[in-house]
Chain A
Amino acid sequence: MSDTFQGKGTSRRAFLRGGVAAAAGAVAAGTASANSPDPLITEVQDWASGLGAGVDEVPYGLPIEFESDVIRRNVEWLTADTISSINFTPIHALDGTITPQGCAFERHHSGAIELKKEDYRLMINGLVDTPLVFTYEDLERFPRENHVYFCECAANTGMEWAGAQLNGAQFTHGMIHNMEYSGVTLRTLLNEAGLGAAGDLEDKWVYVEGADASSNGRSIPMEKALDDVLVAFKANGEALRKEHGYPVRLVVPGWEGNMWVKWLRRVEVMDGPVESREETSKYTDTLADGTSRKWTWVMDAKSVITSPSPQMPIKHGHGPLVITGMAWSGHGKIARVDVSKDGGITWETARLGADGANKALTRFYLDTEWNGEDWLLQARAMDETGYVQPTKAQLREVRGENSIYHNNCIQTWHVKPNGEAENVEVS
């Protein structure tokens, strides 16, 4: 069985050099008729005769070995070390909207720490009636909510500002995951401490920080804190993974991933922002004239075609092809996704896998035909506010090329006659 699985010995380049055209032709012909009976059908296979694994073999399972390429990857040259660094979700290989936690991207500033529930403490202090300390057990006794939200790093697609750099959707758009969270609203915890002492809430802020060495402190206006921010302890049904903030993280729907403070240890009610390192030196967006935007919290509407894409060349030959990808918006629901095959001259509206969900990933499909044409594939998301995902040229016109963060431009893949796809920029 394992001899049908090609590991890293088979490179995409070798595959493209070798037999794309031949394989495509053969498969295309093969779908119409078979010259000889298929032994996978005519001969009894081991799995149809012998026994599989017992139920006691894998108490907690991992994906089957044939899916071993669906993994997080890092790009060494992006950061000085791997501790304060980033890796990427294999979005090219996923479908639907829920990201498996085991391959959902990580971004740490002082590494993924190990914090037991027994050692966990959450403090609420500052302008509250009674500063409080909660244990993990306390948190589980508050009324709970469930919501699916995307967490997108502010720097997702950031390496692409100056041009087409990384060749794969995983690398250009993979600083994102989408999970179903269970937790307590931050509003509930703030009310437990009492906001009477804060007075007028309109000009108040909360400062949130993690238990790790970096602390990742960020300031959040009270209006957002009381709206939909969650103090989450479960994701996709189970406890948070260590690298995603176990046992408790903040979920800040629609807002840049940096504010989703992991290993959350303290929430301080304040009469102004702290202007911490992560909201001055970092997560500020420098414009062409040298001034910089601060507090660019919301992640705007965005989309990317995940297949075909550089890591997902077309290998099945001509004929029916499923173009698929994902779209999301920090402003609300995705209303529509359009797809272009000619670099934006003409567009057709894709089909949504399910209705757009609030501040969560939406899957889209365009069921189409490909017969070896050169395509310049693009997707363009629209959200319920009517915002239309811009081109990179439109973004650069307003911002220049040095804002690092918040690159939600339309991505182009050049699909070539051999089925290969490449990250390109177009006029």
Chain B
Amino acid sequence: GAGANYGLGRAALPEEIAAWNVDVRPDGSGLPEGSGDVFTGEQVFVEKCAACHGDFAEGIDNWPKLAGGDGTLADEDPLKTVGSYWPYLSTVWDYVHRSMPFGAAQTLTADETYAITAYILYSNYIVEDDFTLSHENFLEVEMPNADGFIVDDRAETEYSIWRTEPCMENCKDSVEITMRATVLDVTPEEEGTEEASMDAPAE
């Protein structure tokens, strides 16, 4: 139907929709016109991003690494970056444009976002250093882990196995402790378990 069941709210104006509806999808829909090259991207990145993410997008301290980790996804300690993990370039553009830099989001122009995205691709060895990214060639970029995702399959791989009447007695022969949290000792002391514990009883 035509909606308006309660007659509440008012029609959104085109300018209002344009201001907030900035999401970009894997098929490129939502991308504004514009372009940026790796060289420009490096300059913008060094100025606005490198303090946390490093000059080469390799990450500083505990801040996210945006490059590296190729082929580590099946490792004991995988490094998930734009290059090694992210399936779609649209997500990079969308997220950078909408939510970065951390603490000063929505300050990047479309061209700056194209340039930064180009530089992140270069940092991941996905494009050459003379590459220019634009709304026109955006879909030509191949993301290494584009095929790395499957839709939630728990119904087949887990639920079908675990929806059974469980064991109540003699469920195993023996039990041994194989790991203790206190060995690692990474629970916060000052604001953690010590303080969180109930108080000692009165004598």
> Which chain B positions have C-beta within 8 A of A427?
174-178
Check if A346 sits within 8 Å of B166, measured CB to CB.
Answer: no
Which residues of chain A come closer than 8 Å to B11, judged between CB atoms? 130-133
- Known contacts A6-B199, A129-B2: A284-B149 contact under CB 8 Å: yes
User: How many chain A residues have a CB neighbour from B under 8 Å?
Assistant: 121
Q: Nearest residue in A to B158 (C-beta to C-beta)?
A: A398
Which chain B residues border A289 with CB–CB below 8 Å? Answer: 74
Q: With contacts A280-B87, A425-B177 known, is A311 near B196, CB below 8 A?
A: yes
State A414–B175 Cα separation when bound (angstroms): 12
0 or 1 for each of A277-303: is its CB under 8 Å from B? (1 = yes): 100110010101111111111101000
Chain B residues in 8 Å Cβ range of A376: 175, 177
Q: Residue A125 contacts which of B21, B27, B87, B193 (CB distance < 8 angstroms)? A: B21
Interface of B, helix, strand, loop or mixed by DSSP = loop
Given contacts A166-B187, A293-B153, contact A313 B198 (CB under 8 A): yes
Partner of B8, one of A192, A266, A311, A426: A192
Given A23, A214, A268, A346, which contacts B99 in the complex, CB threshold below 8 Å?
Answer: A214
Closest to A15 in B: B200
CB within 8 Å of A: which B35-63 residues: 52, 61-63
Count A-B contacts at CB 8 Å.
319
Q: Does B191 contact A (CB under 8 A)?
A: yes
Say if the beta carbon of A52 comes within 8 Å of chain B.
Answer: no
Whether the Cβ atoms of B152 and A297 lie closer than 8 Å is yes
Give the residues from 130 to 156 in chain B that come closer than 8 angstroms, CB to CB, to chain A: 148-154
Inter-subunit contact B200/A18 (CB<8 Å): yes
Q: Are B196 and A73 in contact (CB under 8 A)?
A: yes
Q: Mark A54-82, 1 if CB is under 8 A from B, else 0.
A: 00000000000000010001111101100
Contact of A398 with B152 in the complex, beta carbons under 8 Å: no
Question: CB distance A194 to B2 under 8 Å?
Answer: yes
Q: Are A344 and B172 in contact (CB under 8 A)?
A: yes
Output the least CB separation between A336 and chain B (Å): 9
Contacting chain B: which of A146-154, A167-175, A224-232, A240-248?
A167-175
Q: Is the CB of B94 within 8 A of A276?
A: yes
Tell me whether A5 and B149 are in contact (CB under 8 A): no
Q: How far, in whole Å, are A184 and B80 apart by their CA atoms in the complex? A: 38
B197 close to A11 (CB less than 8 A):
yes
Give per-residue flags for A211-229: 1 if the beta carbon is below 8 A from chain B beta carbons, else 0. 0011101000000000000
Per-position 1/0 for A99-134, Cβ under 8 A of B: 000000000011000000000000111101111111
Cβ-closest chain B residue relative to A209: B23
B94 touches A23 (CB 8 A): no
B169 to chain A, nearest CB (A): 5
A92: chain B residues at CB < 8 Å are 196
Q: Which residues of A contact B63 (CB under 8 A)?
A: 80
Q: Would you call A272 an interface residue if the criterion is a C-beta within 8 Å of the partner chain's C-beta atoms? A: yes
Contact across chains for B196 and A315 when beta carbons are under 8 A apart: no
Residues of B within 8 A of A207 (CB): 23
A192-B6, A296-B154 known; A344 and B175 CB under 8 Å?
Answer: yes
Contact call B186/A194, Cβ cutoff below 8 A: no
- CB distance B198 to A312 under 8 Å? yes
Tell me the minimal C-beta distance from B85 to chain A in angstroms: 7
Report B79-107 CB contacts with A as 1/0, cut-off 8 Å: 01010011110110011001100110110
List A residues 17-50 near B (Cβ within 8 Å): 18-19, 23, 27
8 Å CB contact of B171 from A11, A76, A346: A346
* Identity of the chain A residue whose Cβ is nearest the Cβ of B30 in the assembled complex: A274
A382 touches B166 (CB 8 A): yes
List, in ascending order, chain B residues with CB within 8 A of A188's CB. 5
Per the 8 Å Cβ criterion, residues 1-37 of B in contact with A are 1-6, 8-12, 16-17, 20-21, 23-27
B159-185 interface bits toward A, Cβ cutoff 8 Å, 1 = contact, 0 = none: 100111011111110111111111010
Q: Does B194 contact A (CB under 8 A)?
A: yes
Stretch touching chain B among A318-326, A350-358, A362-370, A386-394: A386-394
Known: A123-B16, A286-B78. 6 other contacts (CB 8 A): A18-B200, A188-B5, A290-B74, A292-B149, A296-B152, A426-B175
Can you offer 24 A-B residue contacts whose CB atoms are under 8 A?
Answer: A79-B62, A84-B102, A123-B16, A130-B2, A132-B11, A133-B9, A133-B16, A164-B184, A171-B187, A192-B3, A192-B8, A276-B95, A290-B74, A292-B73, A315-B201, A345-B175, A402-B76, A414-B177, A423-B181, A424-B179, A424-B180, A424-B181, A426-B175, A427-B177
